[in-house]
Structures are given as structure tokens and as C-alpha cells.
Amino acid sequence: MSDFSEELVRPTTEDEQGETCVLSGTGMCFPWLQKHIETVGKTLVATGGKREKDFAQTTSACLSFIQEALLKHQWQQAAEYMHSYLQILEDSDSNKRQGAPEIIWRLGSEILYYHPKSSLETFNTFADRMKNIGVMNYLKVRSDLCDGGLFSSLWQISLQHALYLLHHGLLEDANRNLSQAETWRYGEKSSSKEVLINLIQAYKGLLQYYTWSKKKMELSQLDEDDYAYNTASQNMLNHSWKTSINLCALIQIPGVWDPFVKSYVEMLEFYGDQDGAREVLTNYAYDEKFPSNPNAHIYLYGFLKRERAPREKLISVLKLSIEKNMILHRKKEEHHKLGLEVLFGVLDFAGCTKNITAWKYLAKYLRQTLMGSHLAWVQEEWNSRKNWWPRFHFSYFWAKSDWKDDKTLACEKALVAGILLGKGICFIFFFSGHGF
């Protein structure tokens, strides 16, 4: 793979330890970084020692190259630029250095997730090193400036790492990762830190709920008079106790916590705590501190229906759910308009002319926008582009090239062209693929 990933997975050798090299907060040795800095230093001695300025310009340029490569899905190039961008860990500006782990994590994890030669081992090593770098930065500075944001970033890294492990079916590893993050208690308490801790604990609770639900399925297949039934029932009770502790704290904080609420309520109902389940769902649906969430009313309605609640009660819940849906629909329309602007903006970029995902979504958004009677939104975006997009995207040359390289892309572009320019343009794409 690239130098970036190889640097992550290999240990520091004795020869390298003997070399003059730059060390990160974890003791990672970067001989390539030292060579770069020496070159910069020699150049800048003659210009008044403006090393910091040049260093900042170098890392800024690297970041721009990485962003462009990511936008084009050029994972190998992004990895190569990332290898150089790691020097930001040695920035003389403490604020930049403290924010570096989160930036590197977000960019690096995206690269490693999509790189064709990436592996689980590489991703795990990268995540662990980023956590260690963050801790070492804290121990170096020990200031209130880094306290809040730094460990919020570390918890986010741990949570995202755990979700990556879950994606690969590694439940025990994910649980171990979350348990480790849960023990971190650095600096002063803050509301944002408490929310993240509760979120980590809640995801642990979801893992425990998964185990509990499996045991519930096993229990349903046993005879109640069987000794194994009592043993399995006790194991379930132990798991539900752990799970409820981890879930309970989070769902009391205002937010949208659908999977956590559903899991918690299912366990409460299973053990006959109908009052507790009703209280959780009622607060989730009606507490004004919580954001509007139609699902909350659906969950409450389902619970009341299972309880055979009076018809009047069920209707009142449904009415409120409809009102909430109307409010959310208006907000969704605003987001849809913004999405349309973003898609047009992405396809303005030359590097994205063959981005099939962007074309698919633009075609979808255009259809939905016109069906929703929002022609003005399309006209607003198209008016500034109608003089150059046809040549930039929809010329006969591009139609023929797209049809030859990727027929799916050609069809998506033809659909967009037909909406924006009229049905006749679609024939250009069709005939270009048939030798006319």
C-alpha cells in the first residue's frame, strides 16, 4: 500500500532510532519528516528564519491536496499526501498541534476505509496510534485550552473505531474498545464530555442488548420446567441490568436516541415494567426539551396499542404525530434545497465530471424537486450555469466518451440533461453509443 499505511503498521527499527528523526507524541519515528524539515530549515536560514511560516504553508498545501484527492476518490494519492501531512503533529503552534489528531483521524480513516489495499490491521493500528498521540499531547500541554476539545476528539475516535469494528462483525473487540474509552477521565467535567461518555456507555448498552436479545431467542426455545430455562433466564436478567444502566443515562439527555430508546423499552416490557416503559416513551414524545421526532410518537402509539389503550388516546397520539410530521416536512424541504445547491456545486468542479454518485443524486433531487412544484429552485441554480454547463458536461464529445467508458454514468447524465435542457438532448447520448 502507500507509505502512509506502511508507516502506521510497522514498528520503529533500531537503525531508525539511531537516526536523527522527528518523534510524534507516541514515539513514532518519521525520518522522512526530519529530511523535509532540514530542507526547509536550510532554505529559511538565509531568509530570516521564517521556518514557522513555511511549515504552515506546507501543511496547508498538503491539506488542500488531500481534500482534492478525496473529492475525486483518488485514495492512493490521498494516502501519499497524508504521509507528508503528518508533520502537523510537530507544528510549533500548540493550538494547531492539539487539533491535529482529529483532522488526521477524519482524513486518515476515510482514506483507509476506502483504499483498495487497506486492511483491518492497518485501520486498528491507525486508530490506536491516533488515540495515543492525543493523550501524549494532553500530557505535554496540560492546559484548559486543550482539555475540552482534545478528549472529546479522543472519545469520538474511539466511538468511530468501535463502529468500524462492528461493521466487520467484531463485537467483542468493539466492546473492549468502548470499555477502554469509558475509563478515560482527564481534566475537568463539562456537559459536552458527559454527553460523549454517556453515548459511549449507551453503545456498550446496545452491544449488551444484542447479547440479551440472542439469549431471549434461546430462552423462547426452552421448556419453562427445564433447569436450563432458569439458568438462561438469570443470564438474561444480568445482561438486562447492565444494559439498562448504560442506556438509561443517555435517553434522559435531550436528543434523538431511537435505537437506544427502543432497546430499553423492549427490555422493560419483557420484565413487566409497563409503567416504566410508558414513562420513557411519554417523555421521549412530549418533553419539550427533546427535538421534534415523529418516531417518538410512533413508538408511543405502538406501545399504547399493545396495551389496548382507549381509542381516544390512540387518536390523540396520532394527531400530534401528524402535526410534528408537517413541521419536519417544512424543514426537510429546506434541507432538500440546500442539497440541490451542493450537488450543482460539486459538479461545477472539473474533477467530478465522472462522479456517478453525484449525477445519480442530482437526477434524483431534480425529479423530487420538480414533483414538489419547486421549479424556481432548479431555475435559480441553472440560470448561472446554462451558458457553460452544456459544453462542460453535455457535449457530443462527452456523451460519446461517457457511453464508451461507463454506460450507467452516461444514462444518469442523459437524464439530468433531459431535465435541464429538454428531451432532445437525451438522443445525443443515445445515438453517441450506437455509432450515429
Give the per-residue SS3 of 195-210. HHHHHHHHHHHHHHHH
pLDDT, one tens digit per residue, over 154-172 is: 777 888 888 888 888 898 8
pLDDT at 118 (0 to 100): 87
Write the pLDDT tens digit of every residue in 336-361. Answer: 888 888 888 888 877 778 888 889 99
pLDDT of residue 337: 84
Domains in the chain: boundaries: 342-433
Q: What is the pLDDT of residue 33?
A: 37
| 285 within 8 A of 296, measured Cβ to Cβ | yes
353 Cβ contact partners less than 8 Å away, ≥ 6 residues apart: 347, 392, 393, 398
What's residue 312's pLDDT? Answer: 84
Please name the residues in contact with 253: beta carbons below 8 A apart, sequence gap of 6 or more.
195, 198
Low-confidence ranges of the chain (pLDDT < 50): 9-49, 139, 141-148, 424-436
Q: Which of 227, 291, 224 is nearest to 254 (CA)?
A: 291
Q: What is the pLDDT of residue 265?
A: 94
**Residue 272: is it exposed, middle or buried by C-beta count within 10 angstroms (0-12/13-18/19+)?**
exposed
In degrees, to the nearest 5, what angle opens at C-alpha 145 toward C-alphas 140 and 149?
A: 95
Residue 429 phi, psi dihedral angles, 5° rounding? -65, -40
For 45, the grid coordinates are 536560514
